[in-house]
Amino acid sequence: MASVDKERIEAAVAEILAAIGEDPAREGLAETPRRVAALYAELFGSVGADPAAALGSTFGAPDGGGHASAQPVLMRDITFRSVCEHHLLPFEGVVHVAYVPGAVVAGLGSVVAVVESASSRPQLQERLTDDIADALERGLGASGVLVVVDAKHGCVSARGPRQTRSTTLTLAARGSLAEPAARAETIALIGTDAPRHVTGETA
C-alpha cells in the first residue's frame, strides 16, 4: 500500500490555486493546501491495498457451510464515500452485500471494512462494485456473492446538467448468486429497484 505524500499534495494544491488566479497565501486559503493534504490522506488511504486483506474476524459457518442449501448472509445500507477518478469529485451512497458462506462467515464489521478499503482510493462505481464482490468471494471462499451499490455522484450534480437528485445503481454477481432466480430473490430481499447497470456476472 502506497503512503500519501502530504508535502507534494500541499505544493500541488498551492499551484492549482495560483493557476486559477487566486493567491494561495491570502487569509482563508493559507491553510487550504494542508487541509486538502490531510483530506487526501484519508480519502486515498487504501491505494494499493487488497480489499480482501481488510477481512478481519471470520467464524466457522453453521453446519460447516459450503452446502447447496446454505442461505445467504445479507447486509443492507452500508454507507460509503469514494472519489471518482475522472474528475476527483466525491461520490457516496450505500452498498448492499449478500454472500453464501463457504466454510466461514465474516464478522459484520469485516464486511464494512472491505467496503471502506475498496472505496478509499480513486474509483469508478462499476469497479468498486466488482472489487467488493471479488474480495468477498476470494477472502471468504463464498460460493455466491451479490453486491449492489447505489450512489450519488458529484460529477453529475456539480457540473454539466447538474442532476442533483440522480443516483446510479450497479450490481456484481458471482457464483450461485449469479443464477437468475437466486439473483432475483436476493435483490427482492435487499428491497431495492432492479439495477440499471450490471457488472461482472459469472456463474
For each of the domains in the chain, give its residue range(s) and CATH number, in order of start: 6-42 (1.10.286.10), 49-199 (3.30.1130.10)
| Catalytic choice (85, 163, 185, 197) | 85
Segment 145-163 shows an average pLDDT of 84
- Active-site residue, 96 included: no
List, in order, residues 6 or more apart from 72 with CB less than 8 Å away. 98, 99, 100, 144, 146, 177, 186, 189
The rounded distance, in Å, linking the Cα atoms of 194 and 34 is 43
The overall pTM is greater than 0.85? yes
Write down the pLDDT at residue 197.
45
Question: pLDDT tens-digit profile of 5-61?
Answer: 999 999 999 999 999 999 999 999 999 999 999 999 999 999 999 999 999 877 887
- Active-site residue, 123 included: no
Write down the pLDDT at residue 108.
87
- Active-site residue, 155 included: yes
Question: pLDDT tens-digit profile of 80-99?
Answer: 999 999 999 999 999 999 99
- Active-site residue, 85 included: yes
| Catalytic choice (84, 96, 123, 137) | 84
Write down the pLDDT at residue 85.
95
| Assigned C-alpha cell, 60 | 466457522
- Active-site residue, 153 included: yes
- Active-site residue, 125 included: yes
| Catalytic choice (86, 163, 185, 197) | 86
- Active-site residue, 185 included: no
Q: Are 117 and 46 in contact (CB under 8 A)?
A: yes
